[in-house]
Structure 1
Amino acid sequence: MTRLLFWIALVILVVAAIRSKLRKMSGPPPGAQGQQPAQRQQPQRPAEQPTEKMLQCAHCGVHFPASENVPANGRDYCSAAHAPH
């Protein structure tokens, strides 16, 4: 029984040593301090789209983008059906 535990412990130590060596060879993890080599730089993210202002319908209270606004009598409406005639 003691020999079995010895061999299991030895296998675990060998596997841990191999994983440690492989981790060191792969380089620093992303976001690590310091300069990264040019070939390891992450591609730049595309610029974020600007957010659009949201308005609230004076009739039903639903929020909608300002580009879909139907103004009437100085108030904002989500559709022509909700705007007063």
Structure 2
Amino acid sequence: MKYLLLLLLLALAFFMLGARRGRPREPEARDDRPAPPARPRAMLRCAECGMHLPADEALPGKGGVFCSAAHRSSFEAR
């Protein structure tokens, strides 16, 4: 009889743990909202190749802005 009672208690414990795990979270506790889109960034055009790149990544030079140091040096060499 005591084994039957022990088995019943274990089954009840597993049932309670499984029911708690399968239950959806509270709506206010869930954060399924998508992340806000990234803000647009100012784009500049490379004076050597014409590629557009973000302003914070552009390299300034004598003839404008450049996408790389190689393009800046080749443009300034001419």
Which structure has more RCO (C-alpha within 8 Å, separation ≥ 6)?
Answer: 2
TM-score category (smaller protein): 0.3 to 0.5
Q: TM-score, normalised by structure 2?
A: 0.47
Scaled by the length of structure 1, what TM-score is found? 0.43
